[in-house]
Structure 1
Amino acid sequence: MSKITNLLAGLGGAIALNVIHESLKKKSKETPRVDLLGEEALQKTVEYFGGEIEDEKTLYKATLAGDILSNAMYYSMIGNGAPQHLWLRAISYGVAAGVGAITLPEPLGLDPEPVAKTKTSQALTVGYYVAGALVTAGILRAVARKKE
């Protein structure tokens, strides 16, 4: 697959991930709040450089854009490698991203509670990232079939 195809498929997966998260984030107290983790990370980064994002809507929109862009780039790597291992790569990348979202906040000085407060929220966090990775693989597979 071309790099552009991989990136567009990754964008599809990233959008799917965000649609799932945005649709479910307020359904129960156990659903993960990946947005809150991202907002904290962005605010701390901006503060490190001497700034601050005071408007909540601006912070939300900037975080959402950053999430989509970074996840699109991450998911785009799923298209690299042997086609027969596409689904395994997708699952592996999804699990790695989800586990990272749960385990990395604390060592990075962020509050892990929004994504790791309960076993259910942890499982859902991993599930969201796997779903986005599987959407990416599905798009890549559909493009490959169309070329055949």
Structure 2
Amino acid sequence: MTDINKTILQSLGSGLAGACALTALHETARQFIPEAPRADILGMRAIKKVMNKVDEEPPADDELHDWALGGDIVSNAIYYSLIGLAKPKDALLTGAALGLAAGVGAVALPGPMGLGTAPSSRTTATAAMTVGWYLFGGLITAGAYILMKRR
């Protein structure tokens, strides 16, 4: 395997680790914390919006929820895999920056995108958790990347 292929796999694997950790945190916390962010609702709204634009009927909510979770994992894994652009010594800072940028985007962008603001910023606590949880995903990504680069 070439070095570039190895780096791509390490980047994607690290991004997947961060994305799965983030989604697990979202899904667990929403069941116990009333003000928890609801990335799943944003995902469901986004899928419905796109499907309606192309005159397709969105699936029932249970299936739509699964689609949203899958979409969150794939899109966040690809995003977090940008960690591979960093040198291993800068991975922690890069992971933190990626996570903070994603968290701020998750708070600021849904409203202008027509997805509503409540799922990620209905209260100050919700907005803070949103940013913090994406930061958590970025840090998990960085940790995974550092471990994979050591092998």
Cα-to-partner distance string for 1:23-76 (whole Å, 9 max, x where unaligned): 001223211111111111111011111112141111011111111000000000
Cross-structure match for 2:98: 93
Q: Using the alignment, how far apart are the partners of 1:5 and 1:92 within structure 2?
A: 19
Q: Using the alignment, how far apart are the partners of 2:36 and 2:71 within structure 1?
A: 21
Cross-structure match for 1:61: 66
Return the TM-score normalized by structure 2. Answer: 0.92
Alignment counterpart, residue 143 of structure 2, candidates 119, 135, 138: 138
Instruction: Give the conservation status (yes or no) of the 8 Å contact 1:79–1:137.
Output: no
Identity over the aligned pairs, expressed in percent? 40
Question: In structure 1, what residue type is equivalent to 2:35?
Answer: E
RMSD, matched Cα: 1.1
Q: Using the alignment, how far apart are the partners of 1:14 and 1:8 within structure 2?
A: 10
Q: Tell me, yes or no, if structure 1 residue 117 matches structure 2 residue 122.
A: yes
Q: Tell me, yes or no, if structure 1 residue 72 matches structure 2 residue 80.
A: no
Return the TM-score normalized by structure 1. Answer: 0.94
Alignment counterpart, residue 37 of structure 1, candidates 36, 39, 42: 42
Instruction: Give the conservation status (yes or no) of the 8 Å contact 1:32–1:124.
Output: yes
- Size of the aligned set, in residue pairs, is 146
Instruction: Give the conservation status (yes or no) of the 8 Å contact 2:88–2:149.
Output: no
Cross-structure match for 1:108: 113
Cross-structure match for 1:82: 87
Q: Using the alignment, how far apart are the partners of 1:42 and 1:2 within structure 2?
A: 32
Q: Using the alignment, how far apart are the partners of 2:33 and 2:105 within structure 1?
A: 23
Alignment counterpart, residue 127 of structure 1, candidates 122, 125, 132: 132
Cross-structure match for 2:3: none
Instruction: Give the conservation status (yes or no) of the 8 Å contact 2:19–2:76.
Output: yes
Secondary structure of residue in 1 paired with 2:116: coil
Tell me by how many angstroms 1:145 deviates: 1.9
Gaps of 5+ in 2: 1-5
Instruction: Give the conservation status (yes or no) of the 8 Å contact 2:39–2:120.
Output: yes
Secondary structure of residue in 1 paired with 2:103: helix
118-127 or 27-36, which deviates more: 27-36
Cα-to-partner distance string for 1:72-94 (whole Å, 9 max, x where unaligned): 00000012122221111111100
Question: In structure 2, what residue type is equivalent to 1:85?
Answer: D
Question: In structure 1, what residue type is equivalent to 2:16?
Answer: L
